[in-house]
Structure 1
Amino acid sequence: MIRLYSMLAVGLIAALLGGLGYMVYTGQNQAEFAQCRGTSISGGAGAIGGPFELVDHTGRVVTEADFAAQPTLIYFGYTFCPDVCPLDTARNAQAVDILAENGYEVTPVFVSVDHLRDTQEALAEFVRFMHPEMIGLTGSEAQIRAAAQAYRVYFAIQETDDDFFLIDHSTFSYFLLPGHGFVDVIRRDQTPEQVADVLACYIENA
């Protein structure tokens, strides 16, 4: 069962919404997708993304190569997150449905940053609830940190003596295109319709 904790925790997590923000700023767009990108990536789009090995919600070992042939929208969070993660993940799922209605297939992916509680079973329940095509990924602490580092994702587990701890984390989503890899970040203030428009622009111009 997906557990939602006190809404007081939202303020704490919301304070970290920038997370990766210091690396993402308005500036000159890369020429290839200038008409699509609303942000410029510090170090260029090639500075984000890379190899990883994780386990999906069915128990299958996957790597970045498993997502190379399909437009993919990746979000890092955890199933025990009180509000931000469910809202952002649901937003991504809605955007994927809007795109599907217009003939574009995008795979939604949820990468857990909670190696202690997000078992295969917990992830399976979460992604089934969010979207039938969503893929949940988890792994050992080292595997998760390697994937987070590749995407320049910040997360930190709060110290506590019980199992009801929160995890501070950045809240961007990451869009990958076949033949291009990572191309842009999606901010959490963007609506499902806005996300769908941005992703469709990339797909049409790839």
Structure 2
Amino acid sequence: MSKFLHFLSGFLIVLALSACAPPAVDFKGTSINDDSMGGGFTLIDYSGKPRSLDQFRGKVVAVFFGYTNCPDVCPTTMLEYGSVMKQLGADADKVQVLFISVDPERDTPQVLAGYVPHFDKRFIGLTGGVDAIEKVKKQYKVVAQKVPTPGGGYSVDHSAGSYLLDRDGKLRVFEAYGTPASNLAYDIKQLLR
């Protein structure tokens, strides 16, 4: 991911969140009180079935936008969430991690099935048509663009943070890339209270 795009996407998110009301809960990440961000969606899971955000009501949901060919940011973030699930113990069953592909052309359900459960068997990978993915990216103010690579391939520069939604499906916290698993677990515990 280019450093400029990473900086720009983080800056835009912080700018959008700076006008929000003070947080009601003490989070380690950035509290989000902006009803114009987030919202429901339906995408296709790695078994080919439609999955709606509403299906996870009652759980804290962590949403991360990435792609399976990502060399560093995506596997690092997914490993952190794998560590979070271990730290949560029995409470991990009250949490759902969703990996939403920003590269739907390559990240088919079959590709996601071979990637996402590697980090934790409870994690779900989601994809869909380009238009469906674009709609969800816009809802969550996620930036992603293809960057050509030598040999005719491409990588995808994308926003690197993740989001936490409360048990009612409301977007509550933005977690910057590189947030330690202990901080992620702390924020999830606040939402489980």
TM-score by length of 1: 0.82
Give the CA deviation at 1:82: 1.0
Match of 1:17 in 2: 6
Cα distance change on mapping 1:71 and 1:40 into 2, 3 Å = closer
Equivalences for residues 16-35 of structure 1 within 5 A = 16-18=5-7, 19-24=9-14, 30-33=22-25, 35=26
Cα distance change on mapping 1:14 and 1:161 into 2, 3 Å = closer
Moved over 2 A (4+): 12-18, 20-23, 25-32, 36-41, 100-105, 159-164
Of 161, 171, 181 in structure 2, the residue corresponding to residue 182 of structure 1 is 171
In terms of mean alpha carbon deviation, does 93-102 or 140-149 score higher? 93-102
Give the CA deviation at 1:84: 1.0
8 Å contact kept, 1:29–1:37: no
SS in 1 for 2:154: coil
Equivalences for residues 186-201 of structure 1 within 5 A = 186-201=175-190
SS in 1 for 2:70: coil
8 Å contact kept, 2:31–2:172: no
CA distance in 1, matches of 2:186, 2:147: 36
8 Å contact kept, 1:77–1:112: yes
Cα distance change on mapping 1:66 and 1:102 into 2, 3 Å = closer
State whether structure 2 residue 108 is matched by structure 1 residue 116: no
Match of 2:154 in 1: 165
CA distance in 2, matches of 1:117, 1:59: 15
Q: What letter matches 2:143 in structure 1?
A: Y
SS in 2 for 1:198: helix
Cα distance change on mapping 1:29 and 1:192 into 2, 3 Å = farther
Equivalences for residues 113-152 of structure 1 within 5 A = 113-152=102-141
CA distance in 1, matches of 2:109, 2:169: 30
Equivalences for residues 41-120 of structure 1 within 5 A = 41=32, 44-101=33-90, 105-120=94-109
8 Å contact kept, 1:73–1:107: yes
Of 27, 30, 33 in structure 2, the residue corresponding to residue 36 of structure 1 is 27
CA distance in 1, matches of 2:40, 2:169: 14
Cα distance change on mapping 1:101 and 1:64 into 2, 3 Å = closer
Q: What letter matches 1:196 in structure 2?
A: A
Q: Which runs of 5+ in 1 are unaligned?
A: 1-11
Q: What letter matches 1:109 in structure 2?
A: L
SS in 1 for 2:115: helix
Give the superposed CA RMSD: 2.3
Report the identity percentage: 27
Q: What letter matches 1:120 in structure 2?
A: P
Q: Which runs of 5+ in 2 are unaligned?
A: none
Cα distance change on mapping 1:151 and 1:129 into 2, 3 Å = same
TM-score by length of 2: 0.87
